[in-house]
Chain A
Amino acid sequence: MTAADAMSVNVTAVDVASVDVASVNVTSSETILRRAGDRGWLIECADRHPAEVATSIRAQPWASGLREVVPAARTVLVVAETAAGMGKLAAGLRTVLDGPGARPTGPPPGRRIVIPVRYDGPDLPGVAERLGLAPDEVARRHSAGEHRVGFFGFAPGFAYLDGVPESLRLPRLSSPRPRVAAGVVAIAGNQTVVYPGGTPGGWHQIGVTTARLWDVTAEPPNRLAVGDRIVFEVVAP
């Protein structure tokens, strides 16, 4: 980072053995920008939802100069097309993070998408037994509320959906399956997923949907987007 860059972004020097300024504290929003390579900033979102931060960034006129905006569990990674102007980019990001309407909020409203699920997955009986519930009750609780698309990761089209009720939370399988078909609905921890197909999987498979949520031949390939609200609807086996 050049001296001019550093001046524009309110740098708080970090105590690093090799004297490098790799993170920038943006104290007014308690959000931290951390350097992620020549062209990247990793935004630690503090009390703001990464999906909302990502949406705000994408709405900026200068966002066309960005190659990637990747929201995750607590962070947003921003990667520029070129390494020029990383200080200016940090200043722009800070403006978004500090701007009006950028107070702590929930995720953006998103769309409401209903996904029909047949609750007859191979792990459903075991899940029900471990939770002390009837299989029908597992299905009822899984389909009762809304699930929010938190972020994509792990594999193409693998959307982490938040909002699994406390009563359904289980750790992952001790041994993942080598390959899980598209449409399998599974749970682990406070998250649920509709498998995009062709990936390994260590989550508990409780059902299946015929809805195609990820299709590499479609434009766009994703039917779900970060921030969308998902409702599972029980359909008869």
Chain B
Amino acid sequence: MTVTSAAPGRWVRTRHRSPDPGTGPEPAVLRVVAAGPAASVQDLGRPGLAHLGVPASGPADRRSFRLANRLVGNPEDTPALEVTLGGLAITLSTTRHVAVTGAPAPLTVDGVPVEGAPRLRLRAGSVLAVGRPWAGCRTYLAVSGGIEAERVLGSASRDSLTGLGPDPVRAGAEYGLGPVRPVPAVPLELAFSVVPCGGPATVRFRWGPRHELFDAADRHRLTTTPWRVSAECDRVGARLTGPPLAIGSVDLPSEGTVRGAIQVPPSGEPIVFLADHPVTGGYPVIGVVTDADIDLVGQTLPGDELRLVPVH
């Protein structure tokens, strides 16, 4: 077993015995053995371009993404893999530390289960496989040095709405690895991700900007209905199902939207915008999920129950 963790919850720091500068005659490469249903390359996206119609994109669960990079010593914005519903298997041409965060998923190295290790040292040629998560849906895999991927408008994030950024991850794809980085002494017992698990997830939001277009009964219903995430959920947004809100015939010109916006289309069933949301929308936004809780929504699965709680 190539894992350096002695036991779940306990961590033994190791040093590289043979430093790998990643600059030898053989380039350091990550090869995708199996891609799973929806894996993509992400960094922290391309903010600041919304006025040109460019979505911010980036990881659906930014907190887990940043954690994965920190665990392997990378700057937080380093490109890594977002794995949705597992199914990914990779191998490295050179031994490196990798970190796996986000939705907790069964991991194996060469078929042998790995337990309780958000960071592990993956030997050259060994196959690391990420199975289907038992809670949440998005798992992040970062490699020391980061993966090298095409950058479009300054970002290596795949934007599922517009197609900007690197191609979707496919079996057989290869990505170069950046120069290896020293692995920091992160207290790994604190290195956990928050995913919805066991019961309804409480999601906080702020009213506005268009809550006034809804009457008091509908605003009340938004906060008292147990909403379920429908099968219509992807990186653009998550549609919620429940007793529909009434919005009547609202004629609202397109206006800028933010991640977390709870948009209510004519069906009356809210959609929560996620990482690849469009920069403008024409349906009224009754509220916006807080920065703190939108990552949690990015981890929800169809059937998960959400309770929307207003904050001030």
Contacts and interface: CB of A to CB of B under 8 A. Distances in A.
Contacts of B190: none
B223 interface: yes
A221 interface: yes
27 contacts: A18-B207, A18-B223, A22-B211, A35-B206, A35-B208, A35-B209, A36-B209, A36-B258, A36-B285, A36-B288, A37-B206, A37-B260, A37-B261, A37-B288, A38-B290, A40-B258, A40-B288, A54-B51, A68-B47, A68-B256, A72-B253, A72-B256, A77-B255, A83-B291, A151-B280, A152-B279, A196-B53
B153 A74 contact: no
B162 interface: yes
A223 B51 CA distance: 13
Interface stretch (A98-106, A155-163, A202-210): A155-163
A126 to B, nearest CB: 26
B1 interface: no
A157 B52 contact: yes
Interface string A66-90: 0111111111110100010000000
Contacts of A67: 47-48
B112 interface: no
Interface of A: 1, 14, 16-18, 20-23, 34-40, 42, 54, 67-77, 79, 83, 151-159, 196, 198, 216, 220-222, 226
A16 B255 contact: no
In the complex, which range does the number of interface residues on chain B fall in? 35 or more
Interface stretch (B122-130, B179-187, B212-220, B235-243): B212-220
A86 to B, nearest CB: 10
Given A16-B219, A22-B206, A68-B48, 18 more contacts: A20-B310, A22-B207, A23-B209, A37-B206, A38-B206, A40-B258, A42-B256, A54-B51, A67-B47, A71-B256, A72-B253, A72-B256, A79-B258, A152-B279, A153-B53, A153-B278, A154-B53, A156-B164
